[in-house]
Amino acid sequence: DDFYHKSKDNLANVLWDKGWKEASKKIDALSADPVAGTRGIVFDAYLGLGAIDQFYVQGSQIFNIVGMANKTVGVQAAAVAPYFRATVMNGHKAPSEAMAKLSSGALGVTPEQFLAMIESFKRSGKGFVQGSVADLGEDSAGKVAFRKVREVGRIPYTEGETMARITAHVAASMEYIQKFGPKADLLSQHGQRWVTHQSDVFTNGMTSTSRHWVEQFPMMQFMSYSMRMAEWYLSGIAGGKGVLSGKQKAKLFTFQFGLYGASALPFAGYYLDWYNRKYGTELSESDFYQLRHGLVDNFIRYTTGVESELGRRLAWGEGLFNTIQDLQSNSPLQIALGPSYSLGKTVLESTSK
């Protein structure tokens, strides 16, 4: 990305020197980094445009926040998040003050502190999702009208992501008040930085600013979550300071294992299925399903009768295992291009029929 943008700026400077004073503006309007632009198109194809399910997939980060936050802080933050979102969208003073009086009690904070949470959330820029998602590349070139269509199509994704960020922000704000006392100023520079950092921890640093340079390669698109979860769990094991404390790791794993079953641990689901196929177990089919899939899929099965794979989709362990499996079975070209290859192949096959 940096190489492309530097090259683009150099070209604009050359054209400026030759008398074309509007060069920089025209180049910015009509071009985008081809690699990053492709990432944007792939993002829309798989996650963005009209994918209603992405609302709850992105919103499922709230489960992790509950698992990482102190005691009941995550549950309280999740309960208030929809009202917080409505207040942010409204933006007017009187409704905000009324909502602060209604919601602050559920968090154990004052109405003034609730209003400070809203203001600090706005200042943090966390409400701007479109250009700050780790797996989303720069929008490819196009007219404003088309970009608006893409923004509308991404609403389920962005709203799910926004709800997760709000929950993380509220939880981090509550922890700041608990840590530094009831008179702690959320709008101070220290408060703003502390809460922003802690909310990033709660959401696994899934923003473009937290993205490692390796993740800019096409093959790494949609790998951000698996990489962050591995880092959150493994950091500090060999010494040094980890992202999470040992207590937080244990709580998060216990929470994920309960929700997703064996899918919460890389390779566990595969070996459980393999053992059951080869040797069988004394468990009934229903008991085995409960152990294998966890509360999310079992709840859906109990209430609807449908055996879903939602828990396996949300759990990081199953996703990491599938990625490693793909590395063994796919061609070098498929591995290098990642999701871009799959989309290109699908489009080519459709147009050649």
* Residue 84: HSE in the Cβ half-sphere, 13 Å Cα cutoff: 33
Q: Do the beta carbons of residue 31 and residue 136 sit within 8 Å?
A: no
pLDDT exceeds 60 at position 209: no
| Cβ neighbours for 87, distance < 8 A, ≥ 6 positions apart | 95, 96, 99, 100, 118
Confidence (pLDDT) at 352: 56
248 or 6, which is more confident? 248
186 or 146, which is more confident? 186
Angle between helices 268-278 and 316-329 in degrees, nearest 10: 80
Please, which pLDDT band fits residue 86 given cuts at 50, 70 and 90? very high
Model pTM score: 0.71
Confidence (pLDDT) at 129: 77
Mean pLDDT of 298-325: 75
Comparing 6-10, 42-46, 115-119, which segment has the lowest mean pLDDT?
A: 42-46
Confidence (pLDDT) at 163: 94
pLDDT exceeds 80 at position 285: no
Q: Do the beta carbons of residue 199 and residue 165 sit within 8 Å?
A: yes
Comparing 114-128, 183-197, 310-324, which segment has the lowest mean pLDDT?
A: 310-324
pLDDT exceeds 90 at position 21: no
Q: Do the beta carbons of residue 233 and residue 161 sit within 8 Å?
A: no
Which amino acid appears at position 18 of this protein?
K
pLDDT exceeds 90 at position 194: yes
d(C-alpha 48, C-alpha 263), whole Å? 25
pLDDT exceeds 60 at position 265: yes
